[in-house]
Amino acid sequence: MNFWKDKNITKFEKNKKLQAVFQNVFSTEEGKIALNAILTDLRFFNEAYTDAEKALNNYAKFFIRDRLGLRSTKSTTDFIAETAASEGGY
């Protein structure tokens, strides 16, 4: 059953399940490539100058925090380091 449509679980529970889905997807080699492309497109790795670039950068931070569930600096650093170490980085 699609957990997103399940009316018996809370929004918090749905978000935790969604985080697990994102972590699952982005832990694969293809997922790591896709995540790198997404974060690059969202100006996560580069300086943001314009308002539009700053908005993209802020969404990248939201994505990492809320979609991947990486709320602490350590968990974010560990995830990025693990991703970069895999296959020599992207």
**pLDDT tens digits along 24-79:** 998 888 998 898 899 999 999 899 999 999 999 999 999 999 999 988 888 888 87
Please indicate, yes or no, whether the overall pTM of this predicted structure exceeds 0.85: no
The whole-number pLDDT of residue 75 equals 84
Q: Which of 23, 12, 35 is nearest to 67 (CA)?
A: 23
**Residue 37 one-letter amino acid:** A
The whole-number pLDDT of residue 89 equals 47
**Residue for token digits 């982005």?**
26
**Residue 7 one-letter amino acid:** K
Q: Where are the domains of the chain?
A: 11-88
Tokens of 37: 């492309």
State the maximum Cα–Cα separation within the chain, in Å, rounded to a whole number: 44
Confidence of residue 1 (pLDDT cuts 50, 70, 90): low
Given a cut of 60, is residue 90 above it in pLDDT?
A: no
The whole-number pLDDT of residue 72 equals 86
